[in-house]
A = this chain, B = another copy of it.
Amino acid sequence: MSNNWTKSFSATALKSRPSPVRELLKVINQPGMISFAGGMPAPDVFPVEQFAEGAELLQSKGSLLLQYGTTEGYNPLREFLAKWTAPRMGREVGLDEILLTTGSQQVLDLFGWAMIDPGDVVIMEAPTYMAAINAFSNHGAEFASVRMDDVGMVVGELPALIEKLRKEGRKVKFIYTIVNFQNPGGATMSAARRKELTEVAKRYDLTIFEDDPYGYVRFDGDHLPSIFSFDGAGNTIYAGSFSKILSPGVRIGWVSGPKDIVRQMTVFKQATDLCSSPITQILTHEYCRKGYLDSHLPNIIANYRVKRDAMEQSFKKHLSSLGITWVKPEGGFFYWLDTGAIDSNELARRALEKKVAILPGEPFCVKPEDGVHAARINYTFSKPDVIEEGVSRLAQAIQEMKIPAK
A interface residues, Cβ below 8 angstroms from B:
1-6, 8-13, 16-19, 22, 25-26, 38, 40-41, 43-44, 46, 48-49, 51-52, 54-56, 58-59, 62-63, 65-71, 102-103, 105-106, 108-109, 113-117, 120, 131, 134-135, 138-139, 173-174, 205, 207, 232-235, 243, 246-251, 258-261, 264, 266-268, 270-280, 283
Contacts and interface: CB of A to CB of B under 8 A. Distances in A.
Contact of A48 (B16, B38, B59, B139): B59
A134 B84 CA distance: 35
Contacts of A117: 10-12
Scoring A38, A207, A274 by chain B CB atoms within 10 A of each residue's CB, the highest score goes to A274
Given A16-B264, A249-B277, A10 B271 contact: no
B67 A22 contact: no
A118 B243 CA distance: 35
Contact of A9 (B46, B103, B115, B272): B115
Contacts of A49: 59, 62
A56 B54 CA distance: 11
11 contacts: A5-B264, A13-B114, A13-B267, A18-B270, A40-B68, A46-B62, A67-B247, A67-B248, A102-B251, A106-B273, A277-B280
A61 to B, nearest CB: 9
Contacts of A51: 58, 62, 66
Say how many copies of this protein the assembly contains: 2
B43 A249 contact: no
Contacts of A103: 273-275
Contact of A70 (B6, B25, B68, B264): B25
Q: Which of A26, A46, A259 has the most CB of B within 10 A?
A: A46
Contact of A55 (B55, B131, B235): B55
B115 A138 contact: no
A321 to B, nearest CB: 35
A270 B49 CA distance: 30
A58 to B, nearest CB: 4
A270 B131 contact: yes
A66 to B, nearest CB: 4
A105 B277 CA distance: 13
A68 B333 CA distance: 15
A258 B46 contact: no
A251 B267 contact: no
A12 B117 CA distance: 8
Closest CB pairs A-B (n = 4)? A48-B62, A66-B247, A55-B55, A2-B234
B1 A258 contact: yes
Given A138-B268, A279-B280, 14 more contacts: A3-B235, A5-B261, A13-B114, A41-B67, A46-B62, A51-B62, A52-B62, A55-B58, A66-B246, A102-B273, A106-B273, A131-B271, A131-B274, A248-B274
A254 to B, nearest CB: 14
Contacts of A12: 113, 117
Contact of A10 (B6, B52, B115): B115
Nearest to A65: B249
A160 to B, nearest CB: 22
Contact of A71 (B22, B102, B232, B235): B22
A259 B250 CA distance: 28
Contacts of A44: 63
A216 to B, nearest CB: 17
Nearest to A237: B5
A138 B106 CA distance: 16
